[in-house]
């Protein structure tokens, strides 16, 4: 029956008291092209025994998942790897929007964004609407993939998530994109 206790999950957005906090820069901004704005976030994914962490980088305008990584701890390395892959494939964004989690306010993360001349925007604590596109991705991924498959190993989870993200990017139409896939929308705007 899948009866479980309701309790808070692992805290993925725990702020480090000495890390910088940046203002939210997307209020009243019209996002019109690919790589203008990216958003990223870390979530935890339940497995049959325990959980793992997932970071995804999403193009704000097209909802295209540009890069993602799974990891067993909340260190910064998997975040840096995912961002490096996204930049190699798509170029640096004009602006990157995140929450105030310690991985995304760390010195290596912020230094690399400054080096690439990407502006940094951060949501306020508890302001999920500022981060709505990636929160929708998490909801879809969990309900359409993870909750239907109790993965036993990280290898199984990685393959299942890879298959779902391929479907999400290349086959699933998005009503907000005029029923195009995110890949089709990204390719049109990346010119």
Does the pLDDT at position 148 exceed 80?
A: yes
What is the chain's Cα-based Rg?
16
**Which residue is listed with tokens 């970071």?**
55
Helix/strand/coil for 51 = strand
| CA–CA gap between residue 143 and residue 139 (Å, rounded) | 6
The whole-number pLDDT of residue 62 equals 86
CA atoms within 13 A on the CB side of 16: 13
How many CB atoms are located within 10 Å of the residue 100 CB?
A: 19
Which token pair is 160? 């299942």
| Token pair of 128 as six digits | 């999920």
What stretches of 30-157 adopt beta strand conformation (E)?
37-46, 51-59, 65-71, 95-98, 119-122
Phi, psi of 142 (to 5 degrees): -70, -45
For residue 88, name the pLDDT band (cuts at 50, 70, 90).
very high
Q: Which two tokens stand for residue 184?
A: 């089709």
Identify which of 18, 39, 175, 169 has the alpha carbon closest to the alpha carbon of residue 95: 39
Q: What sections of 19-130 are H helices per DSSP?
A: 77-90, 107-115
pTM: 0.84
- The arithmetic mean of pLDDT across residues 109-125, rounded, is 87
Q: Sorting pLDDT into bands at 50, 70 and 90, what band is 44?
A: confident
Judge whether residue 4 has pLDDT over 50: no
Residue for token pair 């393959």: 159
- The topology (CATH level 3) of 37-189 is Nucleotidyltransferase; domain 5 (3.30.420)
Counting residues of the chain whose pLDDT is more than 90, the rounded percentage is 42
Q: What is the pLDDT of residue 97?
A: 92
CA distance 54 to 42: 5
């Amino acid at each position: 029956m899948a009866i479980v206790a309701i309790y808070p999950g692992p805290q993925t957005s725990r702020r480090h008291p000495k890390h910088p906090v940046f203002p939210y820069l997307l209020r009243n901004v019209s996002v019109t092209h690919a790589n203008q704005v990216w958003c990223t976030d870390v979530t935890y994914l339940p497995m049959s025994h325990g959980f793992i962490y997932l970071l995804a980088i999403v193009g704000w305008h097209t909802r295209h998942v540009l890069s993602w990584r799974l990891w067993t701890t909340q260190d910064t390395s998997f975040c840096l790897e995912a961002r490096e892959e996204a930049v190699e494939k798509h170029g640096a964004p004009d602006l990157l929007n995140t929450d105030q989690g310690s991985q995304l306010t760390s010195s290596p993360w912020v230094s690399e964004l400054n080096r690439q001349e990407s502006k940094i925007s951060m949501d306020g604590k508890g302001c999920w609407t500022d981060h709505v596109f990636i929160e929708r991705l998490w909801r879809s991924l969990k309900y359409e993939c993870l909750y239907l498959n109790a993965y036993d190993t990280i290898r199984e989870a990685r393959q299942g998530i890879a298959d779902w993200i391929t479907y999400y990017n290349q086959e699933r139409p998005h009503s907000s994109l005029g029923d195009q896939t995110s890949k089709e929308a990204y390719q049109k705007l990346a010119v």
